[in-house]
Structure 1
């Protein structure tokens, strides 16, 4: 009985010594444009680390230009506008998802097809860079597929 109790106490002590959550990105995917030559869109989740961070850009080598955008509802009409930065509060998840924040990828390499993976580079104001592979899906594919 004492051994079991001792192991439980040791496990709790180790759990309390775990490393703090780090700034990271996951779940990245790119939806191709419905028409060849039209922009693609990238979606992902940024997980805030122990300190606040500011996302200032997301780029890829397979697009000529990338811009962070936000979709908003104005008087029943959906509009989209570029955003220069996104604040990532400490220990908070910030999603880029359809009908919300996203990254527009202009002039994508025409060789990129559904099923491919593309590298995205996330740049933060403090100089941090995070690389993350994104799955490529066809236009019209539901979110997260």
Structure 2
């Protein structure tokens, strides 16, 4: 008779300690779509990657990595004094709840630095995205050119 209460206590303890346990809530999950990285230019070891991130609860993309590059940085591009400037977002990229956040040419993007082998159209590259509260997300990006929209700007949501 003493086994039943002990067994029930053990199950309750395990449930309380698990990530989905009572009161803890499920961890936030970020969805990624349409990941594409440009081919590396001849003689260069860097390139940009674009994708769209969506999460149900507010989060922040804090870092990224790839086995195919020495370093991956989260960058923003913007016009300053009539020139396109690019800088690292050291604090990461905010992801508002329920909003699709596009990382696209001319805006926020991932920059692969120290690419180990040339990235050629049609190949793929592995990426791991790390978030403030959501679990890390492993994904595969296609190597290619982002599609161009009617406005003439590159669109990262569709591949060639």
Are 1:58 and 2:73 an aligned pair?
Answer: no
* 2:121 counterpart of 1:125: no
Matched, 1:38 2:45: yes
Deviations 1:67-114, CA, capped at 9 Å, x for gaps: 111001112111111102011011110010000011110111225321
After TM superposition, give the deviation of residue 37 of structure 1 in Å.
2.6
Aligned-residue RMSD, C-alpha: 2.1
5+ long unaligned stretches in structure 1: 1-20
TM-score between both structures, scaled by the size of structure 2: 0.70
Query: How far 1:141 moved relative to its partner?
Result: 7.5
Q: Per-residue CA shift, 1:4-39, capped at 9, x if unaligned?
A: xxxxxxxxxxxxxxxxx9521111000023232331
1:26 matched residue in structure 2: 33
Taking a change above 3 Å as real, the CA distance of residues 108 and 134 of structure 1, as seen in their structure-2 partners, is same
Which has the higher Rg, Structure 1 or Structure 2? 2
Distance 1:67 1:115 in 2: 23
Q: TM-score, normalised by structure 1?
A: 0.76
Matched residue of 1:33: which SS? Answer: coil
Aligned length: 123
Contact 1:31 1:141 in 2 (8 A): no
Write the distance in 2 (CA, Å) between the matches of 1:89 and 1:83. Answer: 16
CA distance in 1, matches of 2:82, 2:94: 27
| Cα 1:141–1:23 shift into 2, 3 Å | closer
* Gap runs ≥5 in structure 2: 1-27, 149-153
Three-state SS of the structure 2 residue aligned to 1:105 is: strand
